[in-house]
Amino acid sequence: MKRSLFAMVLIGFVSAAAFWLWQQGAPLSSITRGDAGPPTVVLLHGYGSRAEDWLQFDDPPSPAGFGAASHFQFPPGTRRVYPQGPWRGFGSHHGWWWLHLESYVKSGESLPDLSTSNPGGLKAAAKQVRDLIKNERAPLIVGGFSQGAMVSAEIAFQTDQQLDGLILVAGTPVNEEAWAEHFAGRRQLPIFIAHGRRDPVLSFAIMERFQKRLKDFGLDVTWYPYDGGHEIPLTVVNEVNRFVDRVVGLQSTAGRD
C-alpha cells in the first residue's frame, strides 16, 4: 500500500514538472486589436489575471462621459498585443510564473520586496514574450501591470530587445542590482511608471525609490503616482495615452532628422 501511494505521488510530481517545463517552452498565445502597426503596443497582464482583462480599455468612450480617459486612444495604425501568461491557475486565471508574494515579505514589513530576489520563472517569461514580439513593427512599446510590469522591466534591463518605450504600472523591481548593470544602455528609452499610493499588494515606497534611482542615473522617466490601490484607474489610462503619443512623436521626429 505504501509503495503504491509513493508511486502515485512520484508520478504526480513528475507529471507536474513535465507540464511546467512544457509551459516554459510553449509559444505564447495573445489577443491582438487595432491595425497592423506601426506603432505596436504590447501589454502584459498581472498575476491571477488574463489577457482578456485589457479589453475593458478597448471599449469606446461612454456616452455618459468618462471621456478620453476611459479607454486606450493610441495613434492611428496602432497594433495592440495582449499576450496570455503561460502559468495557469484555477479557472481562467493566468500568470507569468508561480508567485507566492508572502514569501518575499521581510521581517517587520507588511509588503513584499523582490529587489534582491531572482525567480527563475522571470527570465523564462521574458524569453517567451520576446519570442512572441520578435517580428512586431517598430516603434515598439512594451509594458504591463503588476507581475506583467516585472516581466516588461526584465526585458528592458536584462536583454538587448529593441524598445522604443516602457510602461510599468503597479510593478516592483526584481533582482534590482542585475537590472542596474544595464541602466546605461537604456538612457534613450522613454519610461512611464505609475503606482498607487495606497497599493496593498506591491509597495509604493519601493517603486518610488526605484524610479528616483532611474532618474538619478539619467534615464528618461515619467513618474505618475496616483491616489489609489493595486489597480489601473482611468487617470492612468489617460496618462498612458499621453505617453504613447509622446513616444510615437519622438520616433517621428527622429525619422525626419
Q: What is the pLDDT of residue 97?
A: 96
Q: What is the pLDDT of residue 85?
A: 96
Measured on CA atoms in the order 127, 132, 137, 141, is the torsion positive or negative? Answer: negative
Q: What is the pLDDT of residue 68?
A: 45
- Residuewise pLDDT in 10s, the chain (257 residues): 555 555 454 454 333 333 344 444 578 999 999 998 899 999 999 999 999 999 999 866 555 444 444 799 999 999 999 999 999 876 668 999 999 999 999 999 999 999 999 998 999 999 999 999 999 999 999 999 999 999 999 999 999 999 999 999 999 999 999 999 999 999 999 999 999 999 999 999 999 999 999 999 999 999 999 999 999 999 999 999 999 999 999 886 765 44
Q: What is the pLDDT of residue 15?
A: 37
| Spatial distance between the Cα atoms of 165 and 170, rounded to a whole number of angstroms | 17
* Residue-wise pLDDT tens digits, 208-250: 999 999 999 999 999 999 999 999 999 999 999 999 999 999 8
Q: Work out the burial of residue 228: count CB atoms within 10 Å of its CB; fewer than 13 is exposed, 13-18 middle, 19 or more buried.
A: middle
Q: How many residues are there in the chain?
A: 257
Q: Which amino acid is at 21?
A: L
Q: What is the pLDDT of residue 27?
A: 85
Q: Any idea which residue has 544595464 for its cell? A: 182
29-256: which CATH architecture?
A: 3-Layer(aba) Sandwich (3.40)
Q: Closest Cα to residue 158, out of 107, 122, 105, 189?
A: 122
Q: What is the pLDDT of residue 13?
A: 39
Q: Closest Cα to residue 129, out of 83, 80, 182?
A: 83
Q: What is the pLDDT of residue 251?
A: 81
| 170 dihedral zone (left: phi>0; alpha: psi -120 to 50; beta) | left
Q: What is the pLDDT of residue 10?
A: 46
Those residues with Cβ within 8 angstroms of residue 52's Cβ, 6 or more apart along the chain or in another chain: 31, 82, 92
Q: What is the pLDDT of residue 20?
A: 41
Q: What is the pLDDT of residue 3?
A: 58
* Residue-wise pLDDT tens digits, 95-124: 999 999 999 999 999 999 999 999 989 999
Q: Where are the domains of the chain?
A: 29-256
